[in-house]
A = this chain, B = another copy of it.
Amino acid sequence: MKATILTIGNEILKGRTVNTNFSHIGHVLTFAGYEVYRGLVVRDDPSEIAWGITQATGFSDLVVTSGGLGPTFDDMSVKAIADALGIPLETNADALKMIREKYSAQNMELTPERMKMAMLPRNAEAITNPVGTAPGVFFSYRGVRILILPGVPSEMKAILESMIPRIRISTVHYYEESVVLNGIMESAFAPVVADEMKKAGGSVYIKSHPSSAELSNPVLEIEVSGTAQDDATAVKVVRTTLENIKKKHQEMLNKK
């Protein structure tokens, strides 16, 4: 099943903020059994958010968005997404209750800016935000599940965590493990990687990450990942390939 991550925020595009939300969501979805298929980053602009959600729902089984979910003028994700998909916004009773409780506990009034966070797409579900005020939003659109998360990392993480049991694909188990190889260049090791991929017949994927400039002092991280119907099989196919790779590396060093 394919998942797409849609990040909303000018600060990401301008490079002011490193998109750690993206990598966190990507990691969680991968281990939940999804193929994280594509990523999109768009500005805080309703027509841009509309472009992003229209694209993403066209090629995904699950879309997770982050950003633009607070009380300020540029927090426009929920309305822009609902408008783009043609779903009316309504005051969500659960969301309103969550928001009212948060603010009244602090003896603060529900301003129009704060009330906005309770306007959700019709039939959407408000997901408790244990850390902040804006609830997450979860709904289905033409068979695609959409999860709208805030951009504040602690809030995004807490809501996503609570959703894992509901979005997890129980029949797909993912495993990855890496090994760091010294003294070998990526280009010299490339044939071994290609050969091991072939031998494993599609059950594993190998990627090499040179962590220093190739020529001077080569350090190469080899990442092996695989999916299977259960954890034990996924671990086994990955480890078998890793052992072959270590053996080949040793042989190449011995030849030097």
Assembled-state Cα–Cα distance A4/B38 (Å): 15
Is there an interface contact between A191 and B113, defined as CB atoms closer than 8 Å?
A: yes
Within 8 A of B (CB), among A142-182: 152, 154-155, 176
**CB neighbours of A108 from chain B (8 A):** 185
Q: Taking the complex as formed, is A248 at the interface, i.e. its CB lies under 8 A from any CB of chain B?
A: no
Is there an interface contact between B15 and A106, defined as CB atoms closer than 8 Å?
A: no
A residues near B (Cβ < 8 Å) are 5, 7, 10-20, 22-30, 36-44, 48, 51, 70-74, 102-103, 105-106, 108, 111, 113-114, 131-133, 152, 154-155, 176, 185-191, 193-194, 197, 205, 207-210, 213-215, 223, 225
Query: Would A17 and B23 be within 8 Å (CB), given that A70-B187, A113-B190, A194-B73 are in contact?
Result: yes
Is there an interface contact between B10 and A207, defined as CB atoms closer than 8 Å?
A: yes
Assembled-state Cα–Cα distance A26/B17 (Å): 10
Query: Would A16 and B176 be within 8 Å (CB), given that A41-B38, A213-B155 are in contact?
Result: yes
Is there an interface contact between A39 and B10, defined as CB atoms closer than 8 Å?
A: no
Query: Would A44 and B187 be within 8 Å (CB), given that A133-B215, A155-B213 are in contact?
Result: no
**CB neighbours of A214 from chain B (8 A):** 70, 132-133
Is there an interface contact between A14 and B38, defined as CB atoms closer than 8 Å?
A: no
A interface: dominant SS? mixed
Is there an interface contact between A13 and B40, defined as CB atoms closer than 8 Å?
A: no
**CB neighbours of A22 from chain B (8 A):** 12, 15, 18-19, 41
**CB neighbours of A190 from chain B (8 A):** 71-73, 113
**CB neighbours of A103 from chain B (8 A):** 215
User: How far is the CB of A55 from the nearest CB of chain B, in Å?
Assistant: 8
Assembled-state Cα–Cα distance A187/B197 (Å): 53
Assembled-state Cα–Cα distance A37/B223 (Å): 32
**CB neighbours of A12 from chain B (8 A):** 22-23, 26, 39
What are 18 pairs between A and B in contact, CB < 8 Å?
A5-B41, A10-B207, A11-B207, A12-B23, A13-B38, A14-B27, A15-B23, A19-B23, A39-B41, A40-B41, A70-B210, A71-B186, A73-B190, A74-B207, A106-B215, A114-B187, A132-B213, A152-B210
